[in-house]
């Protein structure tokens, strides 16, 4: 369901932005361990970051609370936002601003008070009778039971939605299937949640005591039995959009035509990039070719190493960003934290861009140039030394090889590993050369 994907993407983006771009003017407190408890008489005057197996808040956090734990219980007060991810998240206290949470089981207890919006993604959400959400409630998951009150709108994309409480604004629900017997409860496949998961029928269920102050718009295959007095505004049911158009399978002629067009596009792209590289950086291309000719087997082996090293380097940069950001944030050097994050993001972008360009084009251009020189050298040595003819012949052959049906991917992978290995050996040799100082 596209709407579910949209809600989840929006939730994740909002949570990441909230956690990453923290104002550098604010300090924050960090806690960690198997079990972390903020006692009722404890007041945290800054933002609080927590990683733990189990976390309980009984006291007060003056800023935002960001928690990653298996089991999270909020009984105290959070004066800023609550951002949490874990197996089970129970909010039974007060959050004066927004709540952004994701987990297997989410629960708003009878004493839960959320001052602004609540955004959640999970297998199950239960808002108990007595719970209050002051703003909008946005949820994506398997099922939701809303027995408390929501001040503004409710937007849900789920398999089942049951409303027993009050909604001050409109309700927009994407449900797909109607009320269906035998639908499995999340309790059957989600374990160790430490809270009871309610049983919610698939589709839309509106209780006799439910009150919706605005309109109700829901998308599912059948009408739901909705008490007329429960909805103040208009009730609208939309049919799920089903793509009934099934395109005819392409004919053999169309397949051949598409393959030929893709082949020409691939050759043209390689030719453009290859000629530019031969013109702008002939020494670089020659150096890689010499390494590949001198050490073909080591080049292949080091190519595999270089491929793995790329992903390891990304991991190192991300971990360094997070650790350094937390350390400098704790000692209140917000400007340094922002600088580290900026440099880290730039390094990741540069690394990914360089890797993509070389594996997508550079390795094939290198192989094409070497292959073209070798072939022309057998028939016309003078042409083999030309600046462009070997490249044009080589890209035509390499383009054909990597586009062969069934085996083209294998040629592309082999070329990539040989090229990466040659680059690795060439770079290592240049870095190991001593620097000559000219007096």
Could you tell me if 59 and 38 are in contact, meaning their C-beta atoms sit under 8 angstroms apart?
yes
CA-nearest of 123, 84, 122, 125 to 108 is: 125
Annotate 217-246 with b (16+ C-beta within 10 A) or e (fewer): bbbbeeebebeeebbeeebebeeeeeeeee
Residue 254: its pLDDT value, please? 85
Mean pLDDT calculated for residue range 19-45 = 72
The whole-number pLDDT of residue 5 equals: 46
Q: What is the overall mean pLDDT for the chain?
A: 85
In residues, how long is the chain? 439
Q: What is the DSSP letter of 198?
A: P
By three-state DSSP, how is residue 160 classified?
Answer: strand
> Model confidence at 413, in pLDDT bands (50, 70, 90)?
very high
User: What SS3 state is found at 151?
Assistant: coil
Percent of the chain with pLDDT over 90: 45
d(CA 192, CA 439) in angstroms, rounded, equals 72
> How far is it, in rounded angstroms, from Cα 432 to Cα 311?
24
pLDDT at 20: 41
pLDDT the model gives residue 230: 93
Pairing of strands 171-176, 137-146: unpaired
The Cβ of residue 331 has, within 10 Å, a number of other Cβ atoms equal to 10
- Contact predicate 201/163, CB 8 Å: no
Task: Provide the 8-state DSSP code for 362.
Answer: I
Name which of 75, 101, 99 is nearest 86 in CA terms: 101
The candidate with the shortest Cα–Cα distance to 220, out of 253, 173, 153, is 173
Burial of 375 (0-12, 13-18, 19+ CB in 10 A): middle
The residue ranking higher by pLDDT, 160 or 341, is 160
With contact defined as beta carbons under 8 Å apart, do 215 and 231 qualify?
yes
Using CB atoms within 10 Å of the CB of residue 320, give its burial: 0 to 12 exposed, 13 to 18 middle, 19+ buried. middle
At 245 the pLDDT is 64
pLDDT digits (tens, 9 = 90+) for 206-264: 999 999 999 999 999 888 989 989 999 999 999 887 666 667 788 888 888 988 998 89
Residue 162 pLDDT more than 50?
yes
Q: What is the pLDDT of residue 114?
A: 97
CA distances (Å), 342 to each of 18, 21, 24, 242, 338, in order?
16, 11, 13, 44, 6
């Amino acid at each position: 369901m596209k709407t579910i994907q949209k809600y989840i993407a929006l939730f994740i983006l909002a949570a990441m932005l909230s956690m990453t771009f923290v104002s550098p003017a604010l300090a924050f407190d960090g806690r960690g361990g198997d079990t972390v408890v903020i006692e009722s008489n404890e007041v945290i005057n800054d933002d609080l970051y927590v990683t733990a197996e189990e976390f309980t808040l009984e006291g007060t956090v003056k800023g935002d609370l960001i928690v990653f734990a298996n089991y999270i219980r909020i009984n105290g007060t959070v004066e800023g936002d609550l951002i949490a991810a874990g197996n089970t998240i129970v909010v039974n206290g007060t959050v004066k601003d927004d709540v952004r949470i994701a987990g297997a089981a989410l629960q708003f207890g009878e004493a839960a008070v959320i001052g602004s919006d609540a955004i959640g993604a999970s297998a199950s959400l239960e808002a108990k009778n007595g719970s209050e959400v002051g703003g909008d409630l946005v949820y994506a998951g398997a099922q939701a039971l809303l027995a408390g009150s929501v001040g503004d709108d409710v937007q849900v994309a789920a398999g089942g939605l049951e409303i027993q409480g009050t909604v001050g604004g409109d309700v927009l629900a994407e449900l797909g299937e109607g009320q269906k017997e035998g639908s499995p409860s999340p309790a059957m496949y989600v374990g160790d949640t430490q809270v009871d998961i309610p049983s919610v029928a698939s589709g839309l269920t509106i209780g006799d005591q439910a009150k919706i102050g605005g309109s109700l718009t829901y998308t599912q295959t059948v009408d739901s039995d909705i008490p007329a007095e429960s909805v103040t505004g208009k009730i609208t049911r939309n049919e799920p959009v089903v793509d009934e158009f099934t395109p005819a399978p392409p004919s053999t002629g169309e397949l051949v035509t598409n393959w030929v067009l893709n082949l020409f596009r691939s050759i043209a792209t390689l030719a453009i990039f290859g000629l530019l590289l031969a013109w702008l950086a002939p020494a670089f291309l020659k150096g890689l070719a010499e390494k590949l000719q001198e050490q073909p087997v080591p080049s292949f082996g080091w190519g595999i190493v270089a491929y793995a090293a790329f992903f390891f380097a990304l991991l190192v940069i991300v971990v360094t960003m997070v650790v350094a950001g937390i350390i400098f944030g704790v000692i209140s050097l917000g400007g340094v934290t922002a600088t580290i994050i900026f440099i880290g993001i730039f390094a990741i972008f540069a690394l990914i861009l360089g890797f993509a360009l070389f594996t997508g084009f550079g390795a094939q251009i290198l192989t094409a140039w070497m292959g073209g020189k070798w072939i022309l050298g057998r028939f016309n040595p003078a042409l083999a030394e030309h600046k462009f003819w070997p490249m044009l012949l080589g890209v035509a052959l390499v383009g054909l090889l990597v586009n062969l049906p069934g085996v083209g991917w294998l040629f592309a992978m082999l070329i990539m590993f040989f090229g990466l290995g040659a680059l690795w050996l060439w770079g290592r040799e240049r870095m190991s050369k001593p620097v000559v100082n000219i007096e």
